[in-house]
């Protein structure tokens, strides 16, 4: 049955049951190795990783106008090593996932048989057909893109969406910014340069897209070359922390999509979930 179970039962099985009762373990998806879990989430415990995925699945189920198992063709855009995708076990439709990290894609291909995973790039196009999906989910991707990259992928997701599709994308909005300002633990987790963070706060207050470049394993600009970090991608790419006011999302993203719902702090009282429908005819 998997995700065709009632949502609360499926979430309990993944979050609690599989750990309390070893006989139930076979009913949930396998776990990636600790190194991959840490790479996508900072977590190394299977129980914590499962709990995060269950939290996301529950939040998305509450945001969706239909059960997640009812969508005929679903894309997990930026699927990582399956933190959320594990919860789609038993899905009766077509489930797809893409990621820019080959290690993630290969692990998903070997271990999540219900999902077709593909390697994607840091810029469009993705390896999918026009109008292929009636549901697209993207967790913690637009929270890290500069504005140019964001716009490229918003247009791409509009291309991939069927006319009646629903999209569920997460962003760092006012809730995330406020917690980053007031909670040292959150500030440390985000690892932002302080002067850049101050500039981002000013840009956010002005209603703008606020991007803070980070020189890590995904950034491949010239300045990052001196870090010696192992490269996951080779194409020029800027990765960082992004904050967006709700007004900006409604106005700017509205070029491609109608905003159906905006759920503040829906993921862990931190990231906002934006529920979208594609506008026919593309950018207006």
Q: Does some domain include residue 249?
A: yes
Neighbours of 242 (CB within 10 A): 22
CATH code of residue 139: 3.40.50
Instruction: Compute the distance between CA of residue 247 and CA of residue 208 in angstroms, rounded to an integer.
Output: 9
**pLDDT tens sequence for the chain (284 residues):** 999 999 999 999 999 999 999 999 999 999 999 999 999 999 999 999 999 999 999 999 999 999 999 999 999 999 999 999 999 999 999 999 999 999 999 999 999 999 999 999 999 999 999 999 999 999 999 999 999 999 999 999 999 999 999 999 999 999 999 999 999 999 999 999 999 999 999 999 999 999 999 987 788 775 545 555 566 777 788 999 999 999 999 999 999 999 999 999 999 999 999 999 999 654 43
Cβ partners under 8 Å of residue 106, min gap 6 = none
What are phi and psi for residue 94, nearest 5 degrees?
-100, 120
User: Which tokens sit at 260?
Assistant: 């159906």
> 3-class DSSP state for residue 67?
coil
pLDDT for the residue 73: 98
Instruction: Compute the distance between CA of residue 245 and CA of residue 218 in angstroms, rounded to an integer.
Output: 25
Q: Does some domain include residue 66?
A: no
Q: Does some domain include residue 72?
A: no
Neighbours of 174 (CB within 10 A): 15
Cβ partners under 8 Å of residue 172, min gap 6 = 143, 241, 242, 243, 244, 270, 271, 272
pLDDT for the residue 223: 58
Q: How many domains does the chain have?
A: 1
Q: Does some domain include residue 19?
A: no
8-state DSSP, 125: P
Q: Which domain holds residue 245?
A: 121-284
| β-strand partners of 171 | 272
Q: Does some domain include residue 280?
A: yes
Place of tokens 């439709």: 93
Place of tokens 């006989």: 23
Strand runs labelled E in the chain: 73-77, 94-99, 115-119, 133-138, 161-171, 210-213, 240-243, 257-267, 271-278
Instruction: Compute the distance between CA of residue 19 and CA of residue 51 in angstroms, rounded to an integer.
Output: 11
- Specify whether the CB–CB gap between 124 and 152 falls below 8 A: yes
User: Which tokens sit at 71?
Assistant: 């969508």
pLDDT for the residue 228: 52
Q: Which of 233, 194, 200 is nearest to 217 (CA)?
A: 233
- The stretches of 64-112 forming alpha helices (DSSP H) are 102-111
pLDDT for the residue 230: 61
Q: Does some domain include residue 5?
A: no
pLDDT for the residue 282: 46
């Amino acid at each position: 049955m998997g995700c065709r179970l009632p949502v609360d039962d499926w979430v309990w099985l993944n979050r609690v049951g599989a750990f309390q009762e070893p006989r139930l373990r076979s009913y949930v998806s396998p776990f990636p190795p600790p190194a991959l879990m840490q790479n996508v989430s900072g977590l190394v415990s299977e129980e914590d990783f499962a709990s995060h995925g269950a939290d996301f699945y529950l939040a998305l189920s509450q945001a969706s106008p239909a059960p997640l198992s009812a969508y005929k063709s679903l894309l997990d855009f930026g699927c990582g090593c399956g933190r959320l995708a594990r919860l789609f076990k038993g899905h009766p439709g077509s489930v797809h996932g893409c990621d820019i990290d080959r290690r993630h894609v290969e692990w998903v291909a070997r271990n999540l048989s219900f999902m077709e995973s593909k390697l994607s790039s840091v810029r469009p196009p993705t390896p999918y057909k026009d109008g292929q999906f009636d549901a697209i989910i993207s967790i913690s991707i637009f929270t890290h893109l500069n504005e140019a990259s964001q716009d490229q992928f918003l247009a791409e997701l509009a291309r991939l969406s069927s006319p009646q599709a629903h999209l569920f994308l997460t962003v760092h909005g006012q809730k995330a910014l406020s917690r980053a300002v007031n909670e040292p633990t959150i500030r440390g987790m985000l690892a932002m340069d302080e002067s850049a963070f101050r500039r981002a706060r000013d840009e956010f207050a002005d209603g703008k897209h606020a991007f803070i470049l980070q020189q890590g394993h995904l950034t491949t600009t010239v300045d990052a070359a001196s870090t010696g970090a192992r490269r996951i991608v080779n194409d020029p790419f800027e990765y960082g922390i992004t904050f967006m006011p709700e007004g900006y999302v409604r106005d700017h993203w509205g070029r491609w999509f109608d905003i159906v719902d905006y759920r503040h702090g829906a993921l862990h009282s931190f990231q906002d979930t934006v529920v979208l429908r594609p506008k026919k005819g593309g950018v207006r």
